[in-house]
Amino acid sequence: MNNQNLKRINTPIFPFTAIVGQEEMKLALELNVIDPKIGGVMIMGDRGTGKSTTIRAIADLLPEIEVIKDDPFNRHPTENINTTEKFETEYIKIPMVDLPLGATEDRVCGTIDIEKALTEGIKAFEPGLLAKANRGILYVDEVNLLDDHLVDILLDSAASGWNTVEREGISIRHPAQFVLVGSGNPEEGELRPQLLDRFGMHAEIRTVKDPNLRVKIVEERTLFDLDPYVWVDKYKDQQDSLKQKIIDAQNILDETEMPYEFRVKISKVCSELDVDGLRGDIVTNRAAKAYTAFQGNKNVLLEDIEKIIVLCLRHRLRKDPLESIDSGYKVKKVFEEIFEIV
C-alpha cells in the first residue's frame, strides 16, 4: 500500500471546537499558536483530562504550511541559504511531534555520523525530533519525569529557534522553531522552579465534576468513535471559523499596541509578586497582545490583561521547590489592587 492510501485511511482527529471545558488549556494553546514567542505552555492536571487530545486537535486545526519538498527541517523556500536555486515545494500539515519519555539526547537533537564525515568528507547528519518539530508543535507528556538536561535542551531550542549538534569538532546547526507544550500530573512531582519559569504560560486542568458535563463529554467521544468522518463534518464550520480567527490574529499581531501605563502596571504586578527576572513582564505583554489580536482588536484593553495574567505569572511565584503552585488567587489579588479594579 502506498503512502497516499495510508494518508487517506488515517482516522480523523477529534475536532478542537468539539472539546468541552478545559478553557484555560485551550486559550493558552491558541495564544501560543498566534505568537510562538510567548514561549510555550505547561499544562498540569489530572490524568485522563484530554491533554493529548486537545494538543493534537489544535495542530490539526491550523492551516497547512509551505515547505521545501522532502526537506528534513520543514523549511520555507525563502529560508534556504542558496536563494538562487529553485525548489519544488509542497504544503503539509503543521508538524505535531510527540517526544517519548525514554528519548535519548541523540534521538531529540539528531546525530552526526563521524565515520562518514571523516572517510567521505561530508557532514552526515541524521536529524532528530527537533528537526521534525520545526515550524510546528513539540509535545512532551510527563515533562516532569523527563531528565532535567533534556528539558534544558528543549527550552533552549524553543527560546532561540535553533538546534546545534556538536560531535568531535564537527558542528551542525539547523532551525528549530516550535511551540513547546509540556504536560504532567502534579502528583508525580513538579518541575524545578528554574525550568518551570521558562515556560511562557501555565494552564491548570481539573477533572470535570459536573455530572451533566461529564455525560456530554462521554457522549461526544462515543459518537466520534462510532463515525469520526460524520463527526468531523458536523464541526467543519466551527473549525473553519476558528482557523480564520487565528490567521486574522496572526496577521494583525504586529500592529497591536498596549498603552504605556498598562505596561508599567504589569511590571508593578511582577515586582509586587517578587517574580524573578523579566520573563514574567515580557510574556504577559506578549500574551495580552495576542489575546487582543485574537479578539480582532489592535488596542489592548484592561480585560485582555485580566484574561491572561494568571496564566502568565502563577508558575513564577514559587521559591521553595516543595511548595505547590498557587492556583492564581495571589496573582489575581495583586492585579486587582494595582489596576484598581473594584
Kindly list the distances between the CA atom of residue 137 and the CA atoms of 55, 71, 98, 102, 152, in Å, as whole numbers in the listed order.
Answer: 9, 17, 9, 19, 17
Task: Look at residues 295, 296, 290, 288 and name the one whose alpha carbon lies nearest to residue 339.
Answer: 288
Helix axes 279-294, 236-252, angle to 10 degrees: 120
254 three-state secondary structure: helix
Q: How far apart are CA 65 and CA 145, in angstroms?
A: 32
Report the DSSP pairing between strands 65-68 and 89-92.
antiparallel
Give the SS3 label for residue 113: coil
**Catalytic one among 75, 135, 198, 279?**
279
288: number of Cβ within 10 Å: 26
* Catalytic residue list contains 318: no
Instruction: Give strand pairing partners of 91.
Output: 66
DSSP strands (E only) in the chain: 41-45, 65-68, 89-92, 96-98, 110-112, 125-127, 136-141, 162-167, 170-175, 178-184, 201-205
Q: Which of 164, 207, 197, 172 is nearest to 40 (CA)?
A: 197
| Cα distance between residue 283 and residue 23, in whole Å | 19
Residues with a catalytic annotation lie at: 279
